[in-house]
Amino acid sequence: MERTYWYKDAVFYQIWPRSFKDSDGDGVGDLMGVYEKLDYIKSLHVDAIWFSPLYPSPNADYGYDVMDYMDISGEYGGMEAFKKVLDGAHQRGMRVIMDLVVNHTSDEHPWFQASRRREEPYTDYYIWRKPKRDGTLPNNWDSMFEGKAWQYDEERKEYYLHLFAIKQADLNMDNPRVRDEVKKIMRFWLDMGVDGFREDVITFISKDKDLPNGFFLMPAAKGITHYSNGPHLHEYLMEFRDVLDQYDCVTIGEAPLVTARRALQFIGGKRPELDMMIPFQCMEGDCILIDYVHHPFSLLKLKHIWRHWQDALRGRGWNFLYLENHDHPRIISRYGSEKYRVESGKSLAASYLFQQGTPIIYQGQEIGMTNIRLKSIDMYEDVQTINNYHSFRANQPEQKRMERIWQATRESARTPMQWDDSENAGFTEGKPWFYVNPNYPEINVAAQEDDPESLLNFYRRAAELRSTLPVVRYGTFKMYYPLSRKLFVYERRSKAQRLLVICSYSPDPVKFRAPRGYDLKKGQLILRSHGDKVENNGFVTRPYETRVYLFQDRRGPVEV
């Protein structure tokens, strides 16, 4: 199949279905809710939607514990509703990609049920081990979500490996039958017309077969060096590539802790295993190793990470750009300012939307949703949040522990989407499955829809601009003023166009002067958060001010 690489021109939108829009009043988002909102999604100049898992699931990890890979959960409206959404998206020129969660299944998956009874051919579908001679666990690995990575099964009288929740049993990818199942799943969705996959923790699928003890000191990750980027990973991904090559589809790999150099092992070269990798490091602007060690937000650090990925992948791999997803708290609450919510939201948006690569917007990001702060841990639902609360800082005062949760929980990204100022933010007519952020009367889609200065319309304009400016797709990236702790300034340059993006991360006035070679008066101010005044080839920024200038070089050759 001839590939068109359509994703290189696309803007993606991520839907975490449980919290997007409920159509039937049961308090849980569903696919008919998405169907109602397809025109809204299209209005953001979005070209593709990634759905977090829609499969039947007992929801120990909200869909990332799959019970049936070839069906759609009844909670979400079943297969019929999915096909309607798929067709509706395609009719509007939007593609649809699914979450492929094949590192593990739910323990309620029929494969697991058969495996624990040693029914063939499922006996070796999972990673089973006997207790050690002294009765202890097979090794010292941690689970990311719940204690140790081994759970004893009374029926089989063995332990099974679970790198995540107890109800998420790791598949044994070394078994060729399991890999065949994965290929079958891929074909099933691609034949139906789905346009690709986001591949969940895909770099964990090949484990060191001796399962040696781990030594990694980071909490909840002992053993990681023996299962991340394991011995057969590239081989297995190439097997999957053989299937993917028969379709004009895209793959986005999720790889916790991935570096740019490592990412190129997957997305570089003549026949890459995957098309893009999620660059986790851009989530480390206020912490080390994602959630574990927190520090105040550092623009310098974030700029360094952004520049590093842009430079490292230049000409070698395609970037995937994001600020939010269902696994991280809201970005304005982290890297921006809740006080200057709209302004900092715009600065963050322009900071990433014009970089080289394919950007994705997460539901609610476009209206500037912020973190929720629930009073007590009992009000949270997420397995990882609850585990982090109980396992880290256990001897600290309650208030401190809760502050850490407010800062770091991914559940802040999972509150219902805020559509309007009616009860429950217009998300449901029933009782929402999870708390609606009390700021919804102020922050909602309806309030921003017709306001030309809203964050929502800023996102729309930015996404539209991307698709009309070849320099965003083809241009080089250069960062100016790398040592500024308050400004992020970068250029995209091609033969015929230059783009200069200026983003302040400060509530205070900052003096900006255009870099050498730029005459701001000759540029076209194509996107801005505040004013347009220029003095001495620069300006003094207002809080979190953002400007994007376009320079056309008429002497240059016409862009292709």
Shorter beta-carbon distance to ligand NOJ: residue 164 or 352: 164
- Binding of ligand NOJ at residue 273 (CB under 6 A)? no
The pattern of x and - marking residues 231 through 260 that bind ligand NOJ according to CB under 6 A reads -----------------------x------
Shorter beta-carbon distance to ligand NOJ: residue 170 or 275: 170
**Is 421 an active-site residue?**
no
From the list 82, 81, 88, 75, the residue with the least C-alpha distance to 25 is: 75
Residue 493's φ and ψ, nearest 5 degrees, are -135, 130
Q: Tell which one of 327, 343, 366, 545 touches ligand NOJ (CB under 6 A).
A: 327
Interacting positions 497-516 with ligand NOJ (CB under 6 A): none
H-only helix segments in 295-449: 299-313, 331-335, 341-353, 383-391, 398-408, 445-449
Shorter beta-carbon distance to ligand NOJ: residue 224 or 465: 224
Please report the DSSP string for 429-485 in residue order: SS--SSPPPTTTTTS-HHHHHT-TTSHHHHHHHHHHHHHH-HHHHH-EEEEE-TT-S
Please state the closest distance from residue 65 (CB atom) to ligand NOJ, in A: 8
Tokens of 460: 């729309």
- Binding of ligand NOJ at residue 170 (CB under 6 A)? no
Residue 455's φ and ψ, nearest 5 degrees, are -65, -40
Q: Tell which one of 101, 102, 321, 436 touches ligand NOJ (CB under 6 A).
A: 101
Tokens of 200: 């969940």
Beta-carbon-side half-sphere exposure of residue 490 (alpha carbons within 13 Å):
23
Please state the closest distance from residue 149 (CB atom) to ligand NOJ, in A: 13
Q: Tell which one of 35, 64, 352, 480 touches ligand NOJ (CB under 6 A).
A: 64
What 3-state class would DSSP assign to 528?
strand
Q: Which residues pair with 95 in a beta bridge?
A: 48
- Binding of ligand NOJ at residue 112 (CB under 6 A)? no
Please state the closest distance from residue 275 (CB atom) to ligand NOJ, in A: 18
Tokens of 273: 């295993």
**Is 24 an active-site residue?**
no
470: preceding bond cis by omega (within 30 degrees): no
Shorter beta-carbon distance to ligand NOJ: residue 164 or 539: 164
Closest residue by beta carbon to ligand NOJ: 64
Tokens of 335: 């890297």
> Which entry of 200, 327, 366, 382 is annotated as an active-site residue?
200
Please state the closest distance from residue 93 (CB atom) to ligand NOJ, in A: 27
- Binding of ligand NOJ at residue 164 (CB under 6 A)? yes
Shorter beta-carbon distance to ligand NOJ: residue 21 or 162: 162
Please state the closest distance from residue 431 (CB atom) to ligand NOJ, in A: 24
Q: What is the CA radius of gyration of the chain?
A: 24
Please give the DSSP secondary-structure letter assigned to residue 210.
T
Q: Tell which one of 22, 30, 61, 199 touches ligand NOJ (CB under 6 A).
A: 61
Shorter beta-carbon distance to ligand NOJ: residue 433 or 480: 433
Q: How many residues bind ligand NOJ (CB under 6 A)?
A: 9
Tokens of 96: 């649809």
What contacts 113, CB < 8 A, 6 or more positions away? none
Please state the closest distance from residue 326 (CB atom) to ligand NOJ, in A: 6
- Binding of ligand NOJ at residue 128 (CB under 6 A)? no
CA of 348: how far to CAs of 81, 207, 357, 463, in Å? 35, 38, 16, 14
- Binding of ligand NOJ at residue 411 (CB under 6 A)? no
User: How far apart (Å, rounded) are the C-alpha atoms in residues 331 and 329?
Assistant: 6
Number of other CB atoms surrounding residue 462 within 10 Å: 25
Shorter beta-carbon distance to ligand NOJ: residue 61 or 545: 61
How close are the terminal C-alpha atoms of the chain, in Å? Answer: 24
Please report the DSSP string for 529-554 in residue order: SS----BTTEEEPPTT-EEEEEEE-T
User: How far apart (Å, rounded) are the C-alpha atoms in residues 308 and 388?
Assistant: 30
- Binding of ligand NOJ at residue 324 (CB under 6 A)? no
Q: Which residues pair with 502 in a beta bridge?
A: 489, 547
> Which entry of 254, 273, 327, 366 is annotated as an active-site residue?
254
Interacting positions 130-149 with ligand NOJ (CB under 6 A): none
Please state the closest distance from residue 410 (CB atom) to ligand NOJ, in A: 7
The pattern of x and - marking residues 539 through 558 that bind ligand NOJ according to CB under 6 A reads --------------------
Please state the closest distance from residue 61 (CB atom) to ligand NOJ, in A: 5
- Binding of ligand NOJ at residue 201 (CB under 6 A)? yes
Amino acid at 59: N
Residue 475's φ and ψ, nearest 5 degrees, are -70, 160
Shorter beta-carbon distance to ligand NOJ: residue 163 or 469: 163
Shorter beta-carbon distance to ligand NOJ: residue 227 or 477: 227
Q: Is the dihedral of CA 75, 413, 49, 280 positive or negative?
A: negative
Please state the closest distance from residue 233 (CB atom) to ligand NOJ, in A: 16
Please state the closest distance from residue 113 (CB atom) to ligand NOJ, in A: 20
Q: Tell which one of 107, 200, 275, 343 touches ligand NOJ (CB under 6 A).
A: 200
Residue 199's φ and ψ, nearest 5 degrees, are -105, 110
Shorter beta-carbon distance to ligand NOJ: residue 181 or 200: 200
Which residue's entry shows tokens 């409920």?
22
From the list 99, 100, 106, the residue with the least C-alpha distance to 126 is: 106
Are 267 and 277 in contact by the 8 Å Cβ rule? The answer is: yes
Q: What residues are labeled active site?
A: 200, 254
Binding site for ligand NOJ (CB under 6 A): 61, 64, 101, 164, 200-201, 254, 326-327
